[in-house]
Amino acid sequence: MAMPSAPGTAVREAMRIARITGIEARTVPGMPELLAGRVSVSTLRPIQIDDLLRRSPVRIDLDRVQEMISGRTVLVTGAGGSIGSELSRQLAALGPGRLVLLGHGENSIFTITSELTELHPNLQVVPLIADVRDREGLLRRLEPYQPAVIFHAAAHKHVPLMEVNVIESVTNNVIGTANVTQAALELGSDRLVLVSTDKAVRPTNVMGATKRVAEQVVQAAAEANDRNFISVRFGNVLGSRGSVVPVFLSQIAAGGPVTVTHPEMRRYFMTIPESVQLTQQAAVLGQGGEVFVLDMGEPVKIVDLAADLIRLSGLEVGRDIEIHFSGVRPGEKLYEELFFGREYAEPTTHPKVLRAKHEGLPDGAVAAIDELMTLAVRGADDDTLRAALQVLVPDYRPENSAHNLTARPAVRPPDIRAAPITE
């Protein structure tokens, strides 16, 4: 297949025909790989899961993004993670004056620093090992660099783990975001972008609820200080650490079975480069306090994803590898959503970036955020912290987080992407 921009539906149909006729399929790399310069168009490789799910290549206004970045000091928190490291790669190519990579794990920061130093020998790359939960230490480490633009990707993201580590989720996702936001205010940063998640919408889990509060922290700071601080919300990222694809592949390599929680479990998926490109685009569209939502296409059944991975491994479902259903885990929903009921989407100048329009923060929200953080610092128990989260996120329903979920269609915004407006 010599069509790197072919949509996933076309690749899936070609794979189906090839499987029926016993023909081995190869493809040239996808557009993100070609644009990144990691491979050439003549490279042939096996078809991968990204190929089956991909959509039309993302095109962003690189001139505006480069204008925001060029010659300036840019900070990426969580820079060693899946999203943070790809953000760092793409930002490094835009000519920042200095790129500060902050993370808590020394090995991951060492890896991305070494990669960028080799690729961009003239770029000043500053590795910082720090914990976003340490407000004074964070400010002290960042003060010499005065970052103008901050991408805040540091977070705890694993739903089942955070259900049994509530205080860690609150301290990292809420207090960490508050500390990064306060540092941005004190250091005079003119842009801050919080990487958020679709799990912040009507959350049934602690992780999603804390990310929703993190959005509120950013919104409150933007509104109170007239600063261009925003949040960008998207779904699951293919290939990110702890994501379902590596888990399935390891199960296939072990001979199965592949475990899926529920036959109707669906998720939105994006590739890492696609999500990062659109995050940068949202950064230049923001004016302060908004939540942007990335168009992730249609949700994908996890069981279909598992079956595709089995077939891509040259095996057959049921004959070589079984699929077992293990049951919905605590904190999981069958369907993720993009918008709250009181929110609606409005278009931006980019067809794949929507602005979630919603009311301002309710009275008392800032005080409730402070109370939540105080409780966490004092080591409150899980039930107390969950109750404090519910005060801030009335849609948070922890009682829905076990096996009694009711399947409901994912909420989609109206189809307004064809009518972009002028910023």
User: CA dist 142 to 67, 99, 128, 134, Å?
Assistant: 23, 12, 9, 12
Query: What CA–CA distance (Å, rounded) separates 183 from 147?
Result: 10
Query: Where is 366: in which H helix or E strand?
Result: helix 365-377
User: CA dist 243 to 30, 246, 288, 327, Å?
Assistant: 21, 6, 31, 18
Residue with tokens 């949040």: 231
Axis crossing angle, helix 302-312 with helix 8-21, rounded to the nearest 10: 50
* Whether the Cβ atoms of residue 274 and residue 32 lie closer than 8 Å to each other: yes
301 is catalytic: no
Query: What CA–CA distance (Å, rounded) separates 112 from 108?
Result: 6
Query: What CA–CA distance (Å, rounded) separates 418 from 183?
Result: 38
Query: What CA–CA distance (Å, rounded) separates 39 from 142?
Result: 36
From 199, 211, 333, 352, the catalytic residue: 199
First to last CA, the chain: 39
Per the document, the length of the chain is 423
- The residues carrying an active-site annotation are 199
